[in-house]
C-alpha cells in the first residue's frame, strides 16, 4: 500500500509541477522567428552583416561553438520558403536550422518534502554543519560507502576544480555556496546574461540543490557538506524557459577551457514512450568539449540516467545517456536496493546513493532561498554526487582525460554491496556489470589512488561495420530474428583489441515500437539488452538511425561474431521493416598499461567490503564517525 501511495503521489507531482521547460514555448514565436547558422568565418561583426542581409538580427554566438550564431527575425514579411532559399544559396552559410522547442524535464520531483527539520535520531559527527549528521552517504554510517571521507582525509576536497550545474540556475549567494561560487562557470541562457539566479517561484530550486551536493561549504555551521567542498561551483540557467537545441548547445559549450566538469540532471521525458536526444548543436558541443576542452584533455559530462522506472522506461531511449561522451550515473538506496524510479540500460557506467521510498533517507543539500533540504531525490541527486567525486579525482591528477576517467570508473567502482539485486552479469574480461548499476558504486578513495598513478590511455580507434542487406527485412508476426556481423580487423585502419564503447545504430519501422526487444551479444558471449519492451510506447513509426550504446563489453576483444537479436514480444499482428544496421566499436589497439603495483591495487579493488545497513534505525543515535589523518579532516 505504501508503495502505491508513493507512486500515485509522484505521478500527481509530475502533472502539476513540470515547470516551464515542459511546454511553454511562446518565446519561440513562429517557425521562422529564430534560426541558427554556422558561418564560414567566426567573426561577430561579419555575422551581423549576414543576419541583416536575410532580415534577421544577430543575437550572438551559441556558447563557444565555432562559427555558430543565433539570428532573430525582425522582418516578418519574409516567408519561410524564401528565407530557406536565401540561406541555402548564401555561400557564407555552411548550414542553418530553424529553432524548434524540445521537451526536457528535471530528474527529481520524487515525493519532495519541504521539511528542513532534523530526524529524531542522528549521528554524532565531527563536522559542525548541522545537517552533516544526516548525510548518511558521506558520514560513514553505512560502512565504506563511497569512501569520500577517506578521500578528504587524504587531503582532497576539489580545490582548483571547476564544476558547472546545467539546470534551472543556482543561487550563487546562498550562505552555503557563496564562498565557492564561480561566476566564470555561470551563465543565464534563458535571459541572455551572466547571472543564473533562479526565479523564486517554487519550481526553480533544482539547480541550487544539485550545486550544494557538489560544493556546499564545509565547517561553516550551515546545512551540510559538499562532496568536493573546496571546488569552484557555477550554474547555467537553461531549464527555466523554453528549451531548444540552441539552448542546450550554449550550455554544454560554455567556457570549455575554464569548466572541468558539467553536471546535468535532466533529459527527455521519462514516460516510457519517448525516444529523444541531443540535436546538431548539442552534439557539436559534446564533441568540441571532449576534443578541445580542458586544453585538449576533454570536459567531463556527468549525466543522470533517468527516473522512468515506474513506467518501465529505458535510458537506452535517451540520447544523452547513450552518448559515448557522457558518464551516465544511476542510483541505489541506502540499503543497496534498486530504487523504484531506476531505469535500466547498458550505457550506465556506475551508481551513487540517492533516495528510496518515502520512509527511507534521501539526500541533504542546499535549497532555495537561503535554506536547506534533507529530501533531494532521484537520479537528479546521483549525478552531482558523481560530479563531486570526479572533482576530487581531478584535484589529485588534473592530467586525466575524459576517457581516462571512464576507464578509472570501470576499474574502481564496487559491485559488491549491490550483488543481491538481480541482473548482474560477468563480461568477457571477468568484470561484474549491471544494466541497473553499471560497474557498481563509485569509490572516491580507489579512484584517487589509481588515478594518481594512471598513464593516459592509448589513442582511441573507431571501427565501423555495416550489416549488408540487399533489401529491407520484413518483420511480421511473432518473430525472433538473429543477424550476425563479423568483426575481423578494422575497415578504417588499426584494429581494436580492447573495447570501450559499443554502438549499434539501427533504423526500424514497426507498428508498435514498445513491443520490440533488441539485444546484442559479443564474441565473448556478453549479452546486453539494448531495448527492452516498453508498455507505454505505442508509437507506430519505430526509430531512424538510433544510436544504442553499451559499456558492458569494456575491455573485451571484439574480434569474431557479433549477434543482434530483434524480437516481437507483443501482438502477433505487428508489422514492420528492418532498414539498416551499423556496428561502431570504440577502443584501443594496446591495453591501457598499468605497472605491477597498479595491477595489484586494481585486483584489490574487487575484494568484498563490509556494508552494514540492517540496523539503520537502532544504530543511528550512537554511530561515531572516525577520520584518518589528513589536512582537510575537521577537528
Cis geometry, peptide bond prior to residue 369 (ω within 30 degrees of 0) = yes
Q: Which of 354, 380, 413, 511 is catalytic?
A: 380
Q: Which of 129, 167, 240, 414 is catalytic?
A: 167
- Retrieve residue 252's grid coordinates: 554544454
* C-alpha–C-alpha distance, residues 273 and 535, integer Å: 8
Helices and strands (DSSP H and E) totals, the chain: 12, 26
State the residue for C-alpha cell 575554464: 258
* C-alpha–C-alpha distance, residues 81 and 610, integer Å: 66
Instruction: Specify whether 380 is catalytic.
Output: yes
- Retrieve residue 421's grid coordinates: 539485486
Closest CA relative to residue 377, chosen from 405, 357, 399: 357
Question: 3-class DSSP state for residue 104?
Answer: coil
Total length of the chain = 635
* C-alpha–C-alpha distance, residues 403 and 579, integer Å: 32
**DSSP character for 556?**
-
- Retrieve residue 548's grid coordinates: 544504442
* C-alpha–C-alpha distance, residues 144 and 610, integer Å: 7
- Retrieve residue 93's grid coordinates: 552559410
The Cβ-side half-sphere exposure at 166, using a 13 Å CA radius, reads 29
Q: Which of 54, 187, 206, 407 is catalytic?
A: 206
* C-alpha–C-alpha distance, residues 24 and 243, integer Å: 9
Strands 560-568 and 480-487, bridge-based pairing: antiparallel
Q: List the alpha helices (DSSP H) in 513-619.
A: 596-604, 616-619
604 exposure class (CB count in 10 Å sphere: 0-12, 13-18, 19+) = exposed
Question: 3-class DSSP state for residue 244?
Answer: strand
Residue 373 bridge partners (DSSP): 365
Asked if residues 587 and 499 have their Cβ atoms less than 8 Å apart, the reply is: yes
Question: 3-class DSSP state for residue 544?
Answer: strand
State the residue for C-alpha cell 533517468: 306
Asked if residues 184 and 258 have their Cβ atoms less than 8 Å apart, the reply is: yes
Question: 3-class DSSP state for residue 523?
Answer: coil
CA separation, residue 464 to residues 34, 345, 471, 494, 526 (Å): 36, 22, 20, 12, 19
- Retrieve residue 392's grid coordinates: 576530487
Instruction: Specify whether 191 is catalytic.
Output: no
Closest CA relative to residue 184, chosen from 163, 157, 207: 163
- Retrieve residue 155's grid coordinates: 587531503
Asked if residues 167 and 235 have their Cβ atoms less than 8 Å apart, the reply is: yes
Instruction: Specify whether 75 is catalytic.
Output: no
* C-alpha–C-alpha distance, residues 286 and 308, integer Å: 24
Closest CA relative to residue 235, chosen from 213, 262, 256, 257: 262
- DSSP per-residue codes, 142-160: TTTTT-HHHHHHTT-S-TT
Positions marked catalytic: 167, 206, 380
Amino acid at each position: 500500500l505504501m508503495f502505491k501511495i508513493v507512486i500515485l503521489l509522484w505521478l500527481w507531482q509530475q502533472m502539476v509541477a513540470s515547470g516551464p521547460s515542459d511546454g511553454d514555448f511562446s518565446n519561440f514565436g513562429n517557425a521562422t522567428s529564430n534560426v541558427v547558422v554556422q558561418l564560414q568565418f567566426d567573426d561577430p561583426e561579419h555575422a551581423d552583416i549576414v543576419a541583416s542581409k536575410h532580415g534577421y538580427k544577430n543575437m550572438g554566438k551559441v556558447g563557444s561553438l565555432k562559427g555558430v550564431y543565433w539570428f532573430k527575425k525582425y522582418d516578418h514579411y519574409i516567408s519561410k520558403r524564401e528565407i530557406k532559399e536565401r540561406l541555402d544559396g548564401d555561400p557564407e552559410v555552411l548550414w542553418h536550422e530553424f529553432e524548434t522547442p524540445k521537451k526536457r524535464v528535471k530528474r527529481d520531483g520524487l515525493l519532495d518534502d519541504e521539511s528542513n527539520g532534523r530526524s529524531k535520531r542522528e549521528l554524532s559527527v565531527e563536522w559542525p554543519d548541522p545537517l552533516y549528521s544526516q548525510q548518511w552517504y558521506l558520514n560513514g554510517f553505512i560502512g565504506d560507502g563511497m569512501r569520500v571521507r577517506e578521500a578528504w582525509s587524504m587531503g582532497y576536497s576539489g580545490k582548483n576544480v571547476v564544476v558547472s550545474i546545467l539546470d534551472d540556475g543556482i543561487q550563487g549567494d546562498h550562505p552555503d555556496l557563496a564562498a565557492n561560487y564561480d561566476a566564470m562557470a555561470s551563465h543565464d541562457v534563458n535571459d541572455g546574461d551572466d547571472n543564473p539566479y533562479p526565479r523564486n517561484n517554487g519550481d526553480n530550486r533544482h539547480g541550487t540543490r544539485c550545486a550544494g551536493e557538489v560544493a556546499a561549504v564545509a565547517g561553516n555551521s550551515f546545512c551540510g557538506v559538499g562532496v568536493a567542498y573546496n571546488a569552484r561551483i557555477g550554474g547555467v540557467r537553461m531549464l527555466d524557459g523554453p528549451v531548444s537545441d540552441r539552448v542546450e548547445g550554449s550550455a554544454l559549450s560554455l567556457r570549455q577551457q575554464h569548466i572541468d566538469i558539467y553536471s546535468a540532471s535532466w533529459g527527455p521525458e521519462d514516460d516510457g514512450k519517448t525516444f529523444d536526444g541531443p540535436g546538431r548543436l548539442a552534439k557539436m558541443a559534446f564533441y568540441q568539449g571532449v576534443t578541445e576542452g580542458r586544453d585538449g584533455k576533454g570536459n567531463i559530462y556527468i549525466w543522470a540516467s533517468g527516473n522512468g522506472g515506474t513506467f518501465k522506461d529505458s535510458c537506452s531511449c535517451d540520447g544523452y545517456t547513450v552518448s559515448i561522451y557522457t558518464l551516465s550515473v544511476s542510483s541505489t538506496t541506502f540499503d543497496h536496493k534498486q530504487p523504484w524510479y531506476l531505469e535500466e540500460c547498458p550505457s550506465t557506467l556506475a551508481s551513487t546513493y540517492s533516495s528510496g521510498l518515502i520512509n527511507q533517507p534521501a539526500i541533504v543539500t542546499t535549497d532555495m532561498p537561503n535554506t536547506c533540504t534533507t529530501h533531494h531525490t532521484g537520479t537528479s541527486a546521483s549525478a552531482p554526487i558523481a560530479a563531486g567525486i570526479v572533482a576530487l579525482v581531478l584535484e589529485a591528477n588534473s592530467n586525466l582525460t575524459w576517457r581516462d576517467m571512464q576507464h578509472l570508473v570501470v576499474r574502481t567502482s564496487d559491485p559488491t554491496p549491490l550483488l543481491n539485486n538481480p541482473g548482474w552479469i560477468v563480461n568477457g574480461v571477468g568484470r561484474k556489470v549491471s544494466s541497473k548499476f553499471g560497474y557498481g558504486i563509485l569509490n572516491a578513495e580507489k579512484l584517487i589512488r589509481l588515478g594518481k598513478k594512471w598513464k593516459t590511455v592509448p589513442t582511441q580507434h573507431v571501427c565501423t561495420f555495416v550489416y549488408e542487406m540487399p533489401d529491407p527485412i520484413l518483420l511480421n508476426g511473432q518473430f525472433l530474428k538473429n543477424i550476425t556481423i563479423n568483426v575481423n580487423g578494422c575497415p578504417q585502419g588499426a584494429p581494436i583489441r580492447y573495447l570501450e564503447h559499443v554502438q549499434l545504430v539501427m533504423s526500424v519501422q514497426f507498428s508498435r515500437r514498445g513491443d520490440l526487444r533488441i539485444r546484442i551479444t559479443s564474441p565473448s558471449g556478453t549479452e546486453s539488452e539494448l531495448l527492452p519492451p516498453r508498455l507505454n510506447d505505442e508509437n507506430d513509426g519505430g526509430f531512424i538511425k538510433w544510436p544504442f550504446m553499451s559499456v558492458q563489453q569494456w575491455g573485451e576483444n571484439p574480434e569474431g561474431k557479433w549477434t543482434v537479436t530483434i524480437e516481437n514480444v507483443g501482438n502477433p499482428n505487428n508489422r514492420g521493416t528492418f532498414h539498416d544496421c551499423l556496428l561502431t566499436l570504440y577502443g584501443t589497439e594496446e591495453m591501457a598499461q598499468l605497472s605491477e603495483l597498479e595491477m595489484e591495487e586494481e585486483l584489490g579493488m574487487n575484494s568484498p567490503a563490509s556494508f552494514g545497513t540492517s540496523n539503520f534505525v537502532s544504530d543511528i543515535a550512537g554511530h561515531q564517525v572516525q577520520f584518518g589523518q589528513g589536512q582537510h579532516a575537521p577537528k
